[in-house]
Amino acid sequence: MYNILIVEDECKIAETAMEYLQRDGNNVRHVTTMSDALRAVDAETDLIVLDLMLPDGRGEDLCEHIINLYNTPVIILTSKSSEQSRIRGFACGADDYLTKPFSPRELVAKVKSVLKRAKQRDNIIRLGNEIMIYPDRRTVTKNNIAVKLTPNEYKILLCLANNRQSVVSRDTLVEDINAPDAADRTVDVHIRHNTAKT
């Protein structure tokens, strides 16, 4: 099940999109303004369906901001059908573009396609705007500069990042490191080193 946010001020259009996306097994929320979207979107949002003409601002600006913040896939759903509007939509980072009136089934198909491509991208964990963890490569960067971590320091950081919504006990960290030298105080030392580096 994916978490999808619809940003659309025309409620009938949003209701239709929600119905079809929920029927496909997704968790769907709906907001009508840029300000509500900024409050609603978070790192757990898997995809955004975005109207470009919102009552409190330009959808293009919202698209660019969200992608820079969370790298969340965006499908633009708008009545703007000109070539220039499409070009601007893709230039601000959108993954796909669908014009109104639209086929709800086509929207569902585009959502599936975009989410499939997104899963194939580099597996990146973002901590704020500065720190990036690349589990596939077992590397970490801060402000796009590589951070040198020992294997245990990397495991601790990854464990904390994967459980950032909850408190992680020392026992969990020791178990996660799974190394012969992973005594309680060793974990403390590694955490101090991690804090200094990141």
Task: Judge residue 160's burial from the number of C-beta atoms within 10 Å of its C-beta, 0-12 exposed, 13-18 middle, 19 or more buried.
Answer: middle
Q: Are 20 and 108 in contact (CB under 8 A)?
A: yes
91 and 177 share a domain? no
pLDDT of residue 18: 97
Q: Look up the domain containing 184 and give its range.
A: 125-197
pLDDT of residue 47: 96
45 and 136 share a domain? no
Rounded CA separation 4/48 (Å) = 6
Q: Are 132 and 141 in contact (CB under 8 A)?
A: yes
98 and 11 share a domain? yes
158 and 188 share a domain? yes
138 and 103 share a domain? no
Of 120, 145, 179, which residue constitutes the final position of a domain? 120
Of 120, 137, 155, which residue constitutes the final position of a domain? 120
pLDDT of residue 4: 97
143 and 107 share a domain? no
Q: Are 49 and 111 in contact (CB under 8 A)?
A: yes
Residue type, 151: P
137 and 154 share a domain? yes
What ranges in the chain are assigned the alpha helix state H? 11-23, 34-40, 59-70, 83-91, 104-120, 151-162, 170-177, 184-197
The domain spanning residue 163 has which CATH number? 1.10.10.10
pLDDT of residue 28: 97
pLDDT of residue 193: 59
Of 120, 150, 179, which residue constitutes the final position of a domain? 120
Q: Are 168 and 159 in contact (CB under 8 A)?
A: yes
Closest CA to 55 of 31, 80, 91: 31
Block means of pLDDT (10 residues each) for the chain, 198 residues, are: 95 97 96 96 91 94 88 93 93 94 96 86 75 79 85 84 79 66 52 58
What is the total count of domains within the chain?
2
43 and 98 share a domain? yes
